Structure formats: structure tokens, C-alpha cells
Amino acid sequence: MPTIKDVARLAGVTVTTVSRVLNNRGYISDATRQKVYQAMEELNYQPNEIARSLHRRKSKLIGLIIPTVSHPFFGELAGFIEYYAHLIGYKVLICNSLLDRKKEKEYIEMLKSNRVDGIIMGSHTLEVEEYMNLNYPIVTFDRRISEEIPYISSDNYGGGKLATHLLIQKGCKKIAHISGNLQLQLLANKRSQAFIELSKEHGIESVIVETDLNVFDITQYEAMIRNLLEKHPDIDGVFASSDVMAAYFIQIGYFLNRRIPEHIKIVGYDDIKLASLFVPPLTTIRQPIEEMAKCAVELIVKQVNEEPFERENVFPVELIERLTT
């Protein structure tokens, strides 16, 4: 690979001049500029970003740690994060923690070693202190870690209320809620909280099931749901904490001959792209994934540039009523 020296030699100038052209600094005549460009063209020269990063002490890299990009919600989130990062010249290193503590820790070390400019954490299996000692530009999704670290979430409580309220309003008598593991101190737990409070308030019978810590071990979902419906055959309303979980419900309902929405009404959460394609199309609580992604990138950049930023970034949710309610 050609270096700046090769370009300088071919253009008949010094590296300083080439660097000036490259970085638009100081005085450069058009003639020289052209010569340099031509030499770069001829050699197919691309400045070595690694060397630049080393010198500038900025890598223009953002680390993204999520459970897995193959989960539709995180896939969409990652897509938007990369989109907005790219717009402003940042690159994205993806890390799929699979919600494994060891992996998550490894990834954090790795990202620091690689001197990424900031880390977006969408997976949190570690203890609060471990994040606090990080001393690095960070943004978290759905988890409040400390007074300093900014976080992004949707209005989980509001979403939980919307969902539960809709079920009640539609006449459900016994409702269930299926959530991720509640031990992972996520803000998403507020969805469950809203569910509990609202059903209590309205005197409606309710039941909650949660996954084990392997939240994304999708194989457990089916057994959980079948179990739930067996134990409580009179459930007529379900609030699922993600659209994927809702999909399981729809399907199991279909196999058990419970018609949706006639026998059981279902509300999901996220509004992934495929939610509208389910049969019947899923009623769900929409998180503004794109806006949240954009915000995450901005929060990193603001920290890098030492600009002021908001610590709490809670995004409004929206009830998307389709045909499962």
C-alpha cells in the first residue's frame, strides 16, 4: 500500500505539502494541489486511518454492544445507529454479548483497547460499579446506571399503561403479561410495573411470567407460553414485552385454536417491521427506534466534543392498533 511518502515523491513535493493538501491547511497553489491529487489517483492512495487515529487520538469509532443483532429489535436499532454514525463520519464496531457477562466484559475491554470514541450499551449484565469505573463516553439503552451516564429509553411505564389499558378497555377479564427477566434491572421492567398497577387498580385478574436470564434463548418461550395457557385457560388478554414474544403467542394461540382477537387479545412491544406482517397484524406499542438510535449517536458525539448533553432521554411511545385486539 502506498504511503504519503510515495505520493510526495511522485508528485515531486514533500510530505508536508501532501499533508497540507490532504487536510486543507496552509497555502497551496492549484497547480500543486492538482499534482498531488493526480499522484494520489495514480497510486490509488488512501490515507492510513490507523496512523491518523493514532496521531489524532480519535478513532472515529463507536462500539455497539447489544444482546444480538439477529434479534429484530436490535437489528433495526443497530441499522439506524450505523446509519446516523456514518452520516457524520463515524464507524460502528458491533458486539453481540448474547447477554453473557463474560463476553460483555471482554467486549468492553476490547473496545477500550481499540480506543473507540464511545460505547453504546444495549446489553447490561454487569454490576453498576463496573460500568461506573469505565470512565469513557457511554450511552446506555434502557438502563439507568449512575448520575453521570446518559441513558435512552422509551416511556416504558407509559407503554405498559397503554397496552394494559387497551386490554382492559376491550373487555378482557383476565390478563397475562410475559416479560424478559426482571432481575436485569432494566427500565423495561416499568412495563411490568404499569401492568401490575393498572390491573390491580381496575380489579382485573392478572398473571405475570418472565423468562430466565437467557432472555434471548427463544426455545424457552414456547414452553413458557403453553404452560401459562394450560394453567390459566381463561386468559383473554396478553401484553407481551416484545413483538417476538407476541409472535409466539399468536402462533401458540393458533395451534390451540384460540382465535385472535376473539378469544385472546394480544399487545406487543417495539413495533418491529415484521409486526405489521403477522397474521393477524399485531397491535403493539411502538418505540421510536430510529429517533432513539439517532439520539444515541448524538450523545456519544456530544460527549466526545465535550458539549453539554441531556442525561435522561425518554422517548414517547405510541399505541399502534392493528388486529390482535
Residues engaged in binding DNA (CB under 7 A): 1, 3-5, 12-20, 22-23, 25-33, 45, 47-48, 50-52, 54-57
Nearer to DNA, 111 or 172 (CB): 111
Characterize the bridge pairing of strands 265-270 and 138-141: unpaired
Residue 42 in grid coordinates: 495514480
Subset of residues 270 to 289 that bind a second copy, contact rule: CB under 8 A: 273-274, 277-281
- Amino acid at position 289, single letter: I
Q: Which of 22, 28, 43, 110 binds a second copy (CB under 8 A)?
A: 110
Nearer to DNA, 47 or 75 (CB): 47
Nearer to DNA, 1 or 277 (CB): 1
The piece of 41-49, 162-170, 173-181, 232-240 that touches a second copy (CB under 8 A) is 41-49
Nearer to DNA, 126 or 134 (CB): 134
The piece of 7-15, 20-28, 110-118, 170-178 that touches a second copy (CB under 8 A) is 110-118
Q: How far is the CB of 9 from DNA (least distance, A)?
A: 10
For residue 69, which phi and psi values (nearest 5 degrees)?
Answer: -70, -10
Nearer to DNA, 41 or 212 (CB): 41
Alpha carbon 5 to chain centroid distance?
Answer: 42
Q: How far is the CB of 54 from DNA (least distance, A)?
A: 4
- Amino acid at position 233, single letter: P
Q: How far is the CB of 33 from DNA (least distance, A)?
A: 7
Nearer to a second copy, 31 or 50 (CB): 50
The Cα 138–Cα 121 span in angstroms is 7
In this structure, are residues 302 and 308 in contact, taking their beta carbons and an 8 Å threshold? yes
Q: Residue 25 binds what, of DNA, a second copy, none (CB under 5 to 8 Å, by partner type)? A: DNA
Cα three-residue angle 64-183-240, rounded to 5 degrees = 80
- Amino acid at position 95, single letter: C
What is the length of the chain? Answer: 325
> Could you tell me the sign of the dihedral formed by the alpha carbons of 247, 248, 254, 259, in that order?
negative
**Among residues 246, 252, 199, which one has the least CA distance to residue 222?**
252
Nearer to DNA, 19 or 214 (CB): 19
Question: Helix 4-11 crosses helix 15-23 at what angle (to 10 degrees)?
Answer: 110
**Among residues 205, 201, 241, 203, which one has the least CA distance to residue 225?**
241
| Gyration radius of the chain over CA positions | 25
Q: How far is the CB of 197 from a second copy (least distance, A)?
A: 30
| C-alpha atoms less than 13 angstroms from C-alpha of 184 in its C-beta half-sphere | 24
Q: Residue 93 binds what, of DNA, a second copy, none (CB under 5 to 8 Å, by partner type)? A: a second copy
In this structure, are residues 157 and 269 in contact, taking their beta carbons and an 8 Å threshold? no
Q: Which of 83, 213, 309, 314 binds a second copy (CB under 8 A)?
A: 83
Subset of residues 206 to 265 that bind a second copy, contact rule: CB under 8 A: 218, 244, 247-248, 250-251, 254
In this structure, are residues 324 and 282 in contact, taking their beta carbons and an 8 Å threshold? yes
Q: How far is the CB of 3 from DNA (least distance, A)?
A: 3
Catalog residues that contact a second copy under the rule CB under 8 A: 1, 46-51, 53-54, 59, 68-72, 75-76, 78-80, 82-83, 86, 91-96, 103, 109-110, 112-115, 218, 244, 247-248, 250-251, 254, 273-274, 277-281
